[in-house]
Structure 1
């Protein structure tokens, strides 16, 4: 199983040097990818700009948008950004897409969240066509630059249940899930659903990513982890956020080894670790655990 590390873009204290520092550390470590997710009404940096910086200062790891809330944006603009990211990463870019769950982000982006699942399907088709060289309208020049990788930029879906999994099976190259607390049973259920639904659609088994929140290598790691999770999830209400934060447990090197074992046993192809701190000691401690596997 591969192990990727997300940039700690949602953690307090993310500063001007964090993107470059962590990206270089991930690239030189025993990791498979660097990634970032999207939120608008939060204090994280913007996804495309952040991933562009990560792509520019790395040479080896895959650069993943995990995930881009595609229905919030014009598909042609996203295609242009994706094409640029693919070139900056020299063909190492992968696009993870989803519908999101935060109405505030849609409202702030001046976008409607109506029909967002159907619009995701439509947007993916548009982005694929644009990346393949089709012009955005008759008589227009194509949107470039063309993808570096033969076959284009891989696209991952982020379905949350059977209906959205069936939609993703029509167009996704893989799926990217998430278990806030790093529960192996949750990952297994998602992976089994993905394999079954893709098979029913006549598709080969998809690449399966998952992820979880964690903190290791710093003072009071469990308290730091749970404070991070509660802060990030606060948009859904304090009671829900606190309850979910209390479920988080990956806060020691032994815990990290266990969640990696659980994810691998659950059929995860790549586990993306999402740190709840910007402290580089967390990344260094993570590298030690992963390198020892």
Structure 2
């Protein structure tokens, strides 16, 4: 989500992540702002790395044709050598992004239900257009990757419980209560939907371990949310404080206590100090 990043910046990050004590590498989707395209970046990461999982986190699925997403995901899966095991999909909340892609936010909840079904049909090799044959390439796993829902409210989580394999829960400051509440809602929704297997639990939060991390974290969060208006951006920017080793360690403990099986740490800068210091912290944890 930073402006001005170069090929060399990304290659250095890919190498550091792949060599470090990490399980997976992720990238989100956004249209407005300096963000590079998620699909292209993760495809590059799939080729530049050899060990870590590749996880799109997340596709704003209703902004795109499901068939195109199915094809992109299968391609990234193959380029990674089968390391794309899960994909997060969500509804998105930025109307400007929908409008820029000539899509309508209205009806996106029902649309995503239908799109998930179409994704799985494509990955299963079923015909979408009668007589046209299957749409490839086939993913490395039968039926395609695991689908996690990036949903927030109880109604959205309940809706996703009918088709999702897990929940991607977000807490900007890595708070136990926020993450635990989301997972408890998911457990209840999965049970109500008659799902036998409990939802996979993925969490995420913002951090910075760079020099001057407090200010950089504040500015990053403000810039990220500025599209929602200055009041919301300011409130969120002032609420995050994971900018010291102890604070990041506490957030990791919070995620573990909330039941996260995996957690994405989203850095506020592109400085390699972020990942080097995080690696040191994890090695000592």
TM-score, normalised to structure 1's length?
0.94
CA contact (8 A) 2:120 2:143 kept: no
Counterpart residue number, 1:78: 69
Aligned-partner SS, 2:34: coil
Q: 2:202 aligns with which of 206, 209, 216?
A: 209
Match status 1:18 vs 2:5: no
> How many Å separate the matches in 2 of 1:200 and 1:14?
45
List runs of 5+ in structure 1 lacking aligned partners: 1-9
Q: CA deviation at 1:150?
A: 3.6
Q: 2:50 aligns with which of 37, 50, 59?
A: 59
> How many Å separate the matches in 1 of 2:102 and 2:157?
27
> How many Å separate the matches in 1 of 2:142 and 2:123?
12
TM-score, normalised to structure 2's length?
0.97
Aligned-partner SS, 1:233: helix
Q: CA deviation at 1:18?
A: 2.4
Deviations 1:205-253 (A, max 9, x none): 111111011000x221110000000001000001110110000110011
Root-mean-square deviation over aligned CA pairs = 1.1
List runs of 5+ in structure 2 lacking aligned partners: none
Provide closer, same or farther for how the CA distance between residues 155 and 213 of structure 1 changes in structure 2, counting only shifts above 3 A.
same
> How many Å separate the matches in 1 of 2:268 and 2:2?
5
Counterpart residue number, 1:31: 22
CA contact (8 A) 2:124 2:142 kept: no
CA contact (8 A) 1:14 1:44 kept: no
Q: How many equivalent residue pairs?
A: 283
> How many Å separate the matches in 2 of 1:96 and 1:85?
14
Q: 1:282 aligns with which of 250, 274, 280?
A: 274
Deviations 1:238-284 (A, max 9, x none): 11101100001100111111100011001111110000100001100
Deviations 1:152-184 (A, max 9, x none): 211111111111111111111111111112212
> How many Å separate the matches in 1 of 2:15 and 2:242?
24
Match status 1:130 vs 2:152: no
